[in-house]
Chain A
Amino acid sequence: GQNIDQPTEMTATEGAIVQINCTYQTSGFNGLFWYQQHAGEAPTFLSYNVLDGLEEKGRFSSFLSRSKGYSYLLLKELQMKDSASYLCAVMDSNYQLIWGAGTKLIIKP
């Protein structure tokens, strides 16, 4: 079967750095997405990786290793507004999007 694994919950301190990991086992790979979802709201697109390496976008960076079936989302200079769930989603060989259950990130002052 196809599977996406993310930690259920993480806690970090305002101003710090946090890394949210995602591992996947899917039938084929056509890219990996990260979305942010605040409580009670819709997911918003953060990043897309299809090649190995690090993609940086301001305070957020996303890394991919296809050989390891692994990605992480790195958030720097954490702000209280970064408290949200972060969802990892992988596009399989049929371009079907397989979603993880998300990592709830709690930011403390």
Chain B
Amino acid sequence: DAMVIQNPRYQVTQFGKPVTLSCSQTLNHNVMYWYQQKSSQAPKLLFHYYDKDFNNEADTPDNFQSRRPNTSFCFLDIRSPGLGDAAMYLCATSRDAGTGVGDTQYFGPGTRLTVL
């Protein structure tokens, strides 16, 4: 089955210790997104890639970086996690961007990050 996979599902890190979350997809979609979601809140878009073109949201802290080495994989690096970065991190893909229904996003299961 075509899908979006995130690893690990649960990640515990220490305050200030860098952490990397990974996402892979077998949908062959052009666009990959990283969201942060805290309890009972809307998902907050951090950045997205259209193919290799990186698009950073204006209010995404510099502490968050991303890499997309190929179509299938995308990584989220948190350079110095703070307590406020504890959240669910969601990876999503869409076939296209700027077409309407083709922008439908399909999500991975998420990684829940705990910062001690």
- A→B interface (CB under 8 Å): 4, 8, 30-31, 33, 40-45, 48, 50, 87, 91, 95, 97, 99-102, 104
What is the chain A residue whose CB lies nearest that of B33? Answer: A97
Q: Which residues of B contact A41 (CB under 8 A)?
A: 109-110
Verify A44–B107 contact, CB threshold 8 A: yes
- The dominant DSSP class at the B interface is loop
Min distance, Cβ A17 to any Cβ of chain B, angstroms: 25
7 A-B interface contacts by CB (under 8 A): A33-B104, A33-B105, A42-B108, A42-B110, A48-B104, A50-B100, A91-B100
Q: Would you list which residues of chain B between 64 and 91 have a CB under 8 Å from chain A?
A: 88, 90
Q: Which residues of A contact B88 (CB under 8 A)?
A: 40
Q: Which residues of B contact A40 (CB under 8 A)?
A: 88, 112
Q: Which residues of A contact B100 (CB under 8 A)?
A: 30-31, 48, 50, 91, 95
Min distance, Cβ B7 to any Cβ of chain A, angstroms: 14
Asked if B2 lies at the interface with its beta carbon under 8 angstroms from chain A, I say no
In-complex Cβ contact of B105 among A45, A100, A102 (8 A): A45
- Besides the known contacts A4-B42, A91-B100, 5 further A-B residue pairs in the complex with CB atoms under 8 A apart: A31-B100, A31-B101, A95-B98, A99-B42, A101-B40
Min distance, Cβ A61 to any Cβ of chain B, angstroms: 17
In-complex Cβ contact of B107 among A30, A31, A43, A99 (8 A): A43
- Interface contacts (Cβ under 8 Å), in number, total 51
Distance between Cα atoms of A87 and B44 in the complex (Å): 13
What is the chain B residue whose CB lies nearest that of A39? Answer: B39
Verify A100–B42 contact, CB threshold 8 A: yes
Q: Which residues of A contact B112 (CB under 8 A)?
A: 40
Min distance, Cβ B110 to any Cβ of chain A, angstroms: 5
Q: Which residue among B42, B90, B107 has the maximum number of chain A CB atoms within 10 Å of its CB?
A: B42
Distance between Cα atoms of A42 and B109 in the complex (Å): 5
Distance between Cα atoms of A102 and B44 in the complex (Å): 13
Verify A45–B42 contact, CB threshold 8 A: no
Asked if B27 lies at the interface with its beta carbon under 8 angstroms from chain A, I say no
Distance between Cα atoms of A45 and B45 in the complex (Å): 17
